[in-house]
Amino acid sequence: MQHVDTLIVHAHALTMRGDGVGYIGDGAVAIQGGRIAAVGATAELSARFSASERIDATGHAMLPGFINAHLHSPVNVIRGVAQDVDHWLEKAYWIFYKYVDDADALARSRFTLLEGIKSGITTFLDHVAPFPGWPQAYAAAGVRGRLAASISALGMDAKLDGLYPLDPRAGRDIDEAVAFAREWNGAAEGRISVLLGPVAPDIVLREHLLEIKRAADREGLMIHMHVAQGDREIAQMLARYGKRTPEYLDELGYLDEQLMAVHLTEATQEEVQLMARRGVRMMLCSSAIGLIDGIVPPALAFKEAGGMVALGSDNSACSMFNEMRLTALFNKIARRDPKVMPPWEVLRMATIESARAIGLGDQIGSLDVGKQADLILIDLRGPSLSPVLDTPVRNIVPNLVYNARGTEVKTVIVAGRTVMRDGEVLTMDERAVLEEAQAAADAIARHVASDPDRDALALVSATRSGKL
């Protein structure tokens, strides 16, 4: 009998192998050295393996950890202040964002990681200007960080009316991002990897985009960028270059498998097809774009054109349950067709398809022998996920997508190490993280409260009048 570190048994295993959810009833996984050593039926694996730790997952779904394919970890503490209004960026968000600096960034990021871990996210694609302690926060939290070092030519004091003033000195950010990648790619036993993250084509200079592309080719890095993320961006592109974003990026040689395009809110059908055909990957943030723009991004069309789509939370709740449910519902409603975005498809977009889209498909995203042991256990026995049926219809995945709260996630394992057990995060002091996040948000709010521009904010008046 072979000995392994961990054997998880008696689970409803959703392996995400094949083209569905790869279900195994009474399923088991053996973990050795941080990787998956075997996947199969409990009877079979129990006969093959003895284990240092045996986890009985009776009544639980076992699946690969969720992947959040787009977020900005230090800004989640100010969520709830910039939606339900016109021009969310210029007229609501920017005044808060300009007071977000490096001072409390680490505390704010930890808060987002805590929220994510508690709902089963094991890989975070975090798009941020590198700040002190950023990769170390991931190393300490025990999760996987795909870190997109952001590059922007828009100063924090910029006025956002008219053509944005772009600062040519932003070219220095490229050297810093490359240096960051060289230092951190593969750190924390391979849990940390780095990408280049030009923020958006309207706020990065053309010559810098070309330099970023050359650097990405030279260093073997992928590129993660907001693309066609609103009429605001398209207007800037037309005014500056006389072209819409996709045509402009095509000219620059950007439309290929190296590019992860976030949002594509404003992309036309032709532009979607062009990008999907070229192998561009789409990051879909249903909740955030629904809230700030009232738009359902063209993910269905992107998939229909053969493109890969991954789910991200952006500035919304760091929960893939939220994104899966809203992605399914929004698209059904927008198409007036209940058949589109079925639950197995959105679950794949939060696991295996996302892993492939962010360039980690050979490492994570499914329960497969040789892959990293990133997996979660979800308790199906509470009121939100029970009763469980196996036949004639298996209802586990529909209920996970349409009805889970997130709190049903009980165990989170990353690279074979338990990060959360019975709902308790083992790598962080939860109370301290929450207190620090509150203090950091309070500090930003104090600045905004004394900013002379605050009175123009719709949500400030809604608060004053007692509506909010």
Q: Footprint of Zn ion on this chain (CB under 5 A)?
A: 314
H-type alpha helices, 319-391: 320-335, 343-349, 352-357
Cβ proximity to Zn ion, 296 vs 377, nearer residue = 296
CA distance 133 to 73: 13
Strands (E) in 220-344, as ranges, are 223-227, 259-263, 281-284, 308-311
Provide the minimum distance between the beta carbon of 71 and Zn ion in the complex, in angstroms, as a whole number: 7
Q: Which is nearer to Zn ion, 46 or 319 (CB)?
A: 319
Q: Do residues 170 and 207 touch, judged by C-beta distance below 8 A?
A: no
Q: Which of 460, 361, 349 is nearest to 95 (CA)?
A: 460
**Strand ranges in 286-439 using DSSP code E only, listed in sequence order:** 308-311, 375-379, 409-414, 417-421, 424-425
| Nearest alpha-carbon partner for 407 in 432, 382, 442 | 382
Write down the least CB distance from residue 97 to Zn ion, Å: 12
Q: Are strands 192-198 and 23-32 parallel, antiparallel or unpaired?
A: unpaired
Q: At its nearest, how many Å lie between Zn ion and the CB of residue 70? A: 6
CA distance 271 to 283: 15
| Residue partners of 42: CB distance under 8 A and separation at least 6 | 9, 10, 26, 27, 28
Q: Which is nearer to Zn ion, 320 or 377 (CB)?
A: 320
Residue closer to Zn ion, measured from CB, 233 or 314: 314
Q: Would you tell me how many other CB atoms lie within 10 Å of the CB of residue 468?
A: 12
As to burial, measured by CB atoms within 10 angstroms (0-12 exposed, 13-18 middle, 19+ buried), residue 206 is middle
Which residue matches tokens 């498998």? 257
Min separation Cβ 76 and Zn ion, Å: 11
Tally of CA atoms within 13 A in the half-sphere of 291 that contains its CB: 20
Task: Kindly state the smallest distance separating residue 270's Cβ from Zn ion, in Å.
Answer: 24
For Zn ion, the closer CB: 232 or 417: 232
Task: Using DSSP, state whether 290 is helix, strand or coil.
Answer: helix
Q: Which is nearer to Zn ion, 41 or 158 (CB)?
A: 158
Give per-residue burial for 68-101: e unless 16+ CB within 10 Å, then b.
bbbbbbbbbbbbebbbeeebbeebbbbbbbbbbe
Q: Give min distance, CB of 356 to Zn ion, in A.
A: 20
**Least Cβ distance, residue 89 to Zn ion (angstroms):** 11
Considering beta carbons, is residue 62 or 349 the nearer one to Zn ion?
Answer: 349
Q: Cβ of residue 229: shortest distance to Zn ion, in angstroms?
A: 8
Least distance to Zn ion from the beta carbon of 127, Å? 6
Task: Write down the H helix ranges in 199-244.
Answer: 206-219, 231-241
Q: Which is nearer to Zn ion, 28 or 71 (CB)?
A: 71
Which C-beta is closer to Zn ion: that of 313 or that of 372? 313
**Which residue number places its CB atom closest to Zn ion?**
314
